[in-house]
Structure 1
Amino acid sequence: MDFDLQWLLVGLPVAFALGWLGSRLDLRQVRREHRESPKAYFKGLNLLLNEQQDKAIDAFIEAVQNDPDTTELHFALGNLFRRRGEFERAVRVHQHLLGRSDLGATERDRAQHALAQDFMKAGLFDRAEQCYKALEGTPFDTEARLALLNLYERSRDWRAAADTAAALERSGIGSFGTRIAHHWCELAQEADARGQGEEAASALQHARAAAPQAARPLMLAGQREVRAGRPAAALELWGEMRLRDPASFHLVAADYAQAALAAGKTDAARVVLTEAYEQNPDLALLRAVATLDGSTVAQSPRLLHQLQVKPTLSAAQALLARADGHWSAEETEALRAAVDKAAKPLQRYRCAACGFEAQRYFWQCPGCLGWDSFPPHHVEEL
């Protein structure tokens, strides 16, 4: 019994000493790793701030090799690859993160979101869609739904876009009514192109319900009535459009005049167009009134007023078309040709968001894909 007690008295201090020594060795190892890893990390960050992306990537790769378990280094490296357009390498980094069994739920959702962004930037919309859908119910749910909405609009999947926008609106994120109305208008035009009139009419009803003040559903509905041989119904729809969105009424001014002639409502249409012109002088409205009068805009008594109110090249071009003897034929033709050439670049619509210009009016900008970013007037009238 005495022999066992002596060994116990000797063994306890020895075991304590060995344990203390082992802990010190582990602590030194941890400290050394922490010194090495941040050094490479901050070196890469400094290079990135100095816009030396190639060297920054090399530094981050070195940091990842020294500490392969650090998720932040992987995220930094993957995002840097994406920014440089090296989408394949970015995908590999984020897929490697998702393949780790020790990754927490928060970091896994973050890696899934980063992977979806990689696929989106690479143009792999089907894979991006799958990744974004996998984020449903996660902290990235709202961001994923917004990204899906942009994805569906980019790929022209209007039905999915409308459903996604409606879900976002129900969740209380914001109002998407105008955007949803555009989606249904696109669906209506596609249905008309297929010859499915009832489906097109239903889509326009959904569009008007989504955004009662929107001009586009009324504009399209009126055009459908004209094609169906019901010009009077078209006039009613465009009249409602004028009340709801007066600034956009000039987009259908020419069609309004033609429908009035077909419906035998010239006098009433002249009153409407004249009132619209007095509220917002526009050359398109003058042309529509001239159509009702069986003349040209050059003969309009309001043309000089239009040129004075809005001294645009288009108005000058119309005025010069009325040669009254002050110009010789050659001088008039030369002046008209010069004005025509100068006016053409300005007779375009320009996106207020990205500056994209087009000869015809777009509800959705082909450049930045923004809705209602085109002011309803030519560049020269802004």
Structure 2
Amino acid sequence: MDFDLTWLLWGLPLAFGLGWLASRLDLRQLRIENRLAPKAYFRGLNFLLNEQQDQAIDAFIEAVQSDPDTSELHFALGNLFRRRGEYERAVRVHEHLLSRADLSRADRHRAQHALALDYLRAGLLDRAEEALRKLEGTAFEEQALLALLAIYERSRDWQLASEIARKLDAAGSGGQFAGRLAHYLCEQAAGATPAEAEQLLQKAMKIAPRSARPRIDLAALRRRAGDARGAFELLTELAGASPPALPLMAKALTEAAIASGRQDDARGLLRASYEQSPSLDVLDAIAALETDPEAARNNYVQHLKREPSLVAAAKWIAGEKLEHQQFHPDVQRALDHAVKPLTRYRCAACGFEAKQHFWQCPGCQAWDSYPARRVEEL
């Protein structure tokens, strides 16, 4: 049978034309899809920049519906829900991502971390802990450990907090956790028996030799046990190891010195510290060691010559005989009211002020953020 070349000549252009037409249809459809999804996505970004979060959410939902396989859109939408406080919707978005079989390993870890943040912001600490534990060995491990540390500090689970702090310290995460470990031991000692507290505080001193709290707490423990001399020696050691902490322990040092008959030693130590760095608490301790009331008040006069201080002036005038004695209580009450804000401690991290010194700020939960000096001295 002879082959007719005419069919070949007609068939080739026809096949070429059909192929060209199919490619044009595919390209047109692809362009339509690509045009729709980015348009909604960029519209959502524009709403975000203009702080119109409701409209941004609608735009991102539209973008996700147009291209449900794009993980970046899901991450953007989930993070936006979390920022809005819509934690249930954020959880659903990130759980949907984790349920996808085609999700890459890196994006799976990212979604797991985002889910943990959702639980954490929602206050579901048990679920957040479980989600964070799954990030061990991933690129988010350090962030997860820091979040776990915050959870255990918040729940006052000092043993688990110590475990996480040791991991972070061993990993060389850029922070020094010896001080925190010492604080955790001091917190445990506060609720322990005297014998157990002694051991915990001794351990804390070894972990952080320059930390003030273990020695101050141990000195208070020995003072309650009737060992005033041992308490005085501990505080003297601390004054040498960490001079800036002396204002925090000046009152305890004075009481231990009086109880153990070491007033002269305490007076010399306090005066040397005051000459190097004047402090109101050290000044009060020096005045408390004076047997003569006039000599005690004279210390405040000398301080006023050195630097202006409303607190020192109020303490000096408390023992001064005014010309009109009937007005003295009113004047003193006004001065005491004026100096109250000046005698507070202020957190260096968040500015939270308190009447007493805290090792951990009640406002921002930062450790060792309170200077040893009063507001007037800052």
Give 1:372 deviation, angstroms. Answer: 1.3
Deviations 1:4-54 (A, max 9, x none): 999999988877765655444333322211110000000000010011111
> Which among 252, 261, 265 is matched to residue 264 of structure 1?
261
> Which among 336, 339, 345 is matched to residue 349 of structure 1?
345
1:76 aligns with 2:76: yes
Contact 1:310–1:381 (CA<8 Å) still a contact in 2?
no
Aligned to 2:362: 366
- Residues 261 and 25 from structure 1, CA distance in 2 versus in 1: closer, same or farther, beyond 3 angstroms? same
**SS in structure 2 opposite 1:302?**
helix
Give 1:178 deviation, angstroms. Answer: 1.7
Aligned to 1:115: 115
Aligned to 2:371: 375
Aligned to 2:37: 37
Q: Which segment is superposed worse, 307-316 or 73-82?
A: 307-316
Partners of 1:358 and 1:135 lie apart in 2 by 38
1:184 aligns with 2:181: no
Aligned to 2:128: 128
Q: Which segment is superposed worse, 114-123 or 142-151?
A: 142-151
**SS in structure 1 opposite 2:191?**
helix
Aligned to 2:236: 239
Q: Which segment is superposed worse, 271-280 or 56-65?
A: 271-280
- Residues 41 and 295 from structure 1, CA distance in 2 versus in 1: closer, same or farther, beyond 3 angstroms? farther
1:223 aligns with 2:224: no
- Residues 186 and 211 from structure 1, CA distance in 2 versus in 1: closer, same or farther, beyond 3 angstroms? same
1:284 aligns with 2:285: no
Partners of 1:266 and 1:222 lie apart in 2 by 17
Normalized against structure 1, the TM-score is what?
Answer: 0.91
**SS in structure 2 opposite 1:301?**
helix
Normalized against structure 2, the TM-score is what?
Answer: 0.92
**SS in structure 2 opposite 1:46?**
helix
Tell me which amino acid in the other structure corresponds to 1:171.
A
Partners of 1:295 and 1:251 lie apart in 2 by 25
- Residues 307 and 4 from structure 1, CA distance in 2 versus in 1: closer, same or farther, beyond 3 angstroms? farther
How many residues align? The count is: 377
Tell me which amino acid in the other structure corresponds to 1:129.
E
Partners of 1:124 and 1:331 lie apart in 2 by 58
Tell me which amino acid in the other structure corresponds to 2:369.
S
1:27 aligns with 2:24: no
Contact 1:257–1:288 (CA<8 Å) still a contact in 2?
yes
Aligned to 1:149: 149
Partners of 2:2 and 2:115 lie apart in 1 by 68
User: Cα RMSD between the aligned structures?
Assistant: 2.4
- Residues 23 and 323 from structure 1, CA distance in 2 versus in 1: closer, same or farther, beyond 3 angstroms? same
Q: Which segment is superposed worse, 87-96 or 299-308?
A: 299-308
1:328 aligns with 2:324: yes
Unaligned runs of 5+ in 2: none
Aligned to 1:64: 64
Aligned to 2:98: 98
- Residues 14 and 295 from structure 1, CA distance in 2 versus in 1: closer, same or farther, beyond 3 angstroms? farther
Deviations 1:190-230 (A, max 9, x none): 32xxxx23332232233222221111111111111111211
Unaligned runs of 5+ in 1: none
**SS in structure 2 opposite 1:172?**
coil
Q: Which segment is superposed worse, 87-96 or 326-335?
A: 326-335
Percent identical: 55
Deviations 1:226-281 (A, max 9, x none): 11211111111111111122122121211111111221222222222222222222
Deviations 1:44-87 (A, max 9, x none): 00010011111111111111121111111111111111111111
Deviations 1:330-370 (A, max 9, x none): 33222211111111122211111111111110011111111
